[in-house]
Every structure is written in C-alpha cells, then in structure tokens.
Structure 1
Amino acid sequence: MERQWNCMSIILTLNDNNKDLTDQEAKLYIKRLLSALRRKADRESWSYYIFVGFSRSNQKIKNERPHFHVFLYGCPCRTIEHWISNYWKPAKKSRRESRGIATRKIIDRKKAGYFVNGYIRGQAVFTREQKTDDLGNISEELKAYEVL
C-alpha cells in the first residue's frame, strides 16, 4: 500500500516554565526541533515540507507566550506529526524536558491547495533551478525594477 501525503496544522506553545524566554531563545528551540526532525527523516526515509511561523500574540489568554504555527505536508504525515508532538511534549517518564503544549489539527488537502500546489511545488522548482544554476532569463520588467 502506497503512503499518502497529507496536511497537518500544529501549534507548539511554550509552557509556563519557558514563558520568560526572549524571542531568539524561543526560536532556538524550534531550530533544534527541525534539526532533530531532519536527522530522523533521513533515517526513516520520510518526505515532508514544513513551514513554521513565530508568534507571541494570543487572543484567548492575556498572558502572551511564544508559540509557533506549523504547517506540515508530509508522507507519512501522522507519523511525522506524532514525532513532533512527542519531541515538544515528551512522555512523563522521559528524561527530556517538556517544552510546552502541542495542539494539532488535520487539514483537508483541498483547503490547503495554495500551499501544496503554489508554494511547495513552486519552491521545489525554484530550488531545483538554483542547484543547476539555471534561473532562466530575467524579463525586461524585472530588469527595470533592478535598476530602480
């Protein structure tokens, strides 16, 4: 059976122990998570695209804590999402320190069409062109902007 690509939305919130972190320190946590995910994905042969946005504002709670909005498009998506959640908030018996709370939601692939079709596939083409150093001809219109 062939694995399917799916979309997930995850919000990774820092817990009260980490609420006084600066933005740079909070971003280091997510950088470590992404590095660990990259290593795990290489070992397990996972394929994924991940987008992370940083925020401090929260409409429901007055106390603002750093949190990250994560959009995951991957295969196997559930397995990757489960690994991210366990990394962010490990089991109670684990020696690793809990970073906070992980809230997740499955996104219908039809609703995520912009990210999947436009951004991911477009970015893949752009990256492939960058690696081959063939970015094509710059249109006259873009050359005019470069002059300005």
Structure 2
Amino acid sequence: MTMFMAAPALSQTEAPWGAAALEAIDYAPQKVVYDVAQGDLERFERILDRVSFLNNVYGADPFDASIVLVLHGDEIGFFAIENYGEYSELMHRAQSLTLSGPIQFRMCQVAAHERGFAPEDIHGFVDMVPMADAEIIRLQQEEGHVFMQ
C-alpha cells in the first residue's frame, strides 16, 4: 500500500479552466501607506497580518522599503494607554512590528481628539500626525508611497 495517493482527477465540468498556476515573482521593496480605519479587532489583526507578511516579502529592508499605517478610525482605542490591559497582546504585536524593519504607525490627531485622546494618551511607538488624509497625501506625493486600503 502506498503512503501517498494521487489527487482525484477533476472532471471537465468541475474545473473547466483547469487549476491556477503559481507565478514566481520576486517583489522589490516598495514604499506603501495603509489607510487604516478599522475598529473590529479581528479585521485589524488581519491588517497586521498583511503588513507583517509584506514586510517579510520585502526582506524587512529598512533602506528601500517603508510601510506606514495611518490610523484614523475606531482602532485608535486599541492604542490608548488606558486600554493596555484589554489590548496588551495586540499592542505587543504592533510594537514588535516596528522593531523588525520599516513598519511605522502614525495616528491622526484629529481622529484621536474626537475619541477623547491626546498624544500623551497613546503608546510611544506611535507617531501622532495632524491629519490622516493630509499625511496619506503627503506620503504619496512627497515620499512616493503607494496607497493601500
């Protein structure tokens, strides 16, 4: 008896176009800005997964790559010092991403203020910027970042 069995053949009606082919592509490090407004914890964690994976694809190259997450939604509460007890695991993960390479977190001061937070209320690995939209535009126009959502 063999240990491996062949995959069952797919009929023409099950897979009329065959199966997808994986393209071998080497991605050069890029500059990317993520527009983040996600207060759902699971969805925010998936954003961190994507950012972390992209960082790995880029080889965590701090010279040629830049990955900036601009925060301006309900996720701001995750980064509040007063909420550390509830989101400590998430904050350790987010902070550790900033140590592994070119990943940065920037938070909209206007959005934070609307939620009752000042810069001194937010963890120190986050940079506060005056306005999310203006920062996203600046990163694209002046620093050559590509927009991601």
Higher relative contact order (CA 8 A, sep 6+): 1
Larger radius of gyration: 2
* TM-score by shorter chain over 0.5: no
Taking structure 1 as the reference length, what is the TM-score of the superposition? 0.28
When you count strand as a share of all residues, which structure comes out higher?
Answer: 1
